[in-house]
Amino acid sequence: MMPVRRDVHPHLPPERICNWHERGQHVTHFINALSIFFPAGERFFMDSVRNYRDRVTDPELRQAVAGFIGQEAMHTREHILYNRLLDDAGLPAAQLDHAVAKLLNLLRRILPESWQLAHTIALEHYTAMLAGGMLSDPRHMGVSEPGYRQVWTWHALEETEHKAVAYDVWNTVMKPGPYRYLLRAFTMLTTTVTFWALVFVFHVRLVLADKTCRNKLRGFGSVMTFLWGSPGVLRKMIPEWFDYFRPGFHPWDADNRAELARILPLIEEIEETAIRAGASTKAPSLRSAA
Ligand SMILES: [Fe+2]
Ligand SMILES: [Fe+2]
């Protein structure tokens, strides 16, 4: 599986940023909360793989690393633009992004590079689980606003395409044995607690800050149904989460490569949607959008 960088720029109607998901504003903001993690998070992933780039000699894995970095850079760019729509709507996305960046900069300073890579492979497994679930069940996105559905589907497809790259780097540069296994397993446990605690806080912050969001408390029921009932985004992730603790685990043990056939038709659909909306299919430069 060879990931390639694709310069994709989905069109996101700004007026729908607080209510683009078919299940309403609370589910919208749950997924918006995930978006806030990507710019700082994906920079951290790229850096922690770059730290070991020189130690990868296999030409195929070197090419995959280049594709991985290229894809994460495009995701970062699009999620910066996505999150800016949240700020423009009066929500504290920049402030929350700053908190994520601060936390990850602290990890860069205090953790050895191997521990940073361990965090990356744990979080890449999270993105792969979320992406795989979303691609396998159309109810995750339903008939949501097309641009938002497209940006998340594109991201999910590329997360699937490169899901083993950081892991293969890990297996290449870390000496096999109990330390490698224990570090990987321990980091998955700590990451699980920290990541979901932050997602919860960010989600609540977005809902509280959204003046158009009614039934603030009751709406969380729709998120619980989405995550644990039907379609059950988190409920369905549980077996794959446990699978990570298998000593011989590899991301492609869950073989969903057939989904990748959707990439090219999706890119065409993204371009058609943007053209129909009279928008550019090229991303505005981040500096000029600032
Ligand atoms: Fe990504
Ligand atoms: Fe990724």
Residues 43-71 have pLDDT tens digits of: 999 999 999 999 999 999 999 999 999 99
Mean pLDDT of 159-187: 98
| CA 156 to centroid of ligand 1, rounded, Å | 8
| CA 215 to centroid of ligand 1, rounded, Å | 32
Residue 187 has pLDDT above 90, yes or no: yes
| CA 218 to centroid of ligand 1, rounded, Å | 32
Residues 115-153 have pLDDT tens digits of: 999 999 999 999 999 999 999 999 999 999 999 999 999
| CA 255 to centroid of ligand 1, rounded, Å | 19
User: Which tokens go with 176?
Assistant: 């096999």
Q: pLDDT-based confidence at 22, cuts 50/70/90?
A: very high
Residue 285 has pLDDT above 80, yes or no: no
Q: pLDDT-based confidence at 280, cuts 50/70/90?
A: confident
| CA 168 to centroid of ligand 2, rounded, Å | 13
User: Which tokens go with 126?
Assistant: 């999270």
148: left (phi over 0), alpha (psi -120 to 50) or beta: alpha
Q: pLDDT-based confidence at 2, cuts 50/70/90?
A: very high
Is the N-terminal amide bond of 231 cis, ω within 30° of 0? yes
User: Which tokens go with 174?
Assistant: 């870390």
**Burial state string for 94-131 with b = 16 or more CB within 10 A and e = fewer than 16:** eebbebbeeebeeeeeeeeebebbbbbbbbbbbbbbbb
pLDDT at residue 287, as a whole number: 52
| Residues with CB in 5 Å of ion ligand 1 | 72, 75
pLDDT at residue 284, as a whole number: 75
| CA 117 to centroid of ligand 2, rounded, Å | 13
Q: pLDDT-based confidence at 290, cuts 50/70/90?
A: very low
CB atoms within 10 A of CB 46: 20
> What ligand is nearest to the CA atom of residue 71?
1
Mean pLDDT of 61-84: 98
Q: What is the mean pLDDT of the chain?
A: 96
d(C-alpha 153, C-alpha 263), whole Å: 9
d(C-alpha 44, C-alpha 102), whole Å: 11
CB 18 within 8 A of CB 28: yes
Residue 288 has pLDDT above 60, yes or no: no
| CA 180 to centroid of ligand 2, rounded, Å | 21
Mean pLDDT of 29-53: 98
CA quadruple 114, 45, 235, 91: dihedral, nearest 10: 130
Backbone φ, ψ for residue 207 (5° rounding): -65, -45
| CA 75 to centroid of ligand 1, rounded, Å | 5
d(C-alpha 103, C-alpha 199), whole Å: 14
Three-state SS at 66: helix
d(C-alpha 49, C-alpha 254), whole Å: 22
* Backbone CA torsion sign across 270, 61, 173, 163: positive
CB 68 within 8 A of CB 3: yes
> What ligand is nearest to the CA atom of residue 48?
2
Mean pLDDT of 35-45: 98
* Termini Cα distance of the chain: 36
| Residues with CB in 5 Å of ion ligand 2 | 127, 159
For the ranges 4-18, 106-120, 206-220, the lowest mean pLDDT is seen at 206-220
What string of DSSP letters covers 107-164?
Answer: HHHHS-HHHHHHHHHHHHHHHHHHHHHHHH-GGGTTT--HHHHHHHHHHHHHHHHTTT
| CA 163 to centroid of ligand 2, rounded, Å | 6
| CA 256 to centroid of ligand 1, rounded, Å | 17
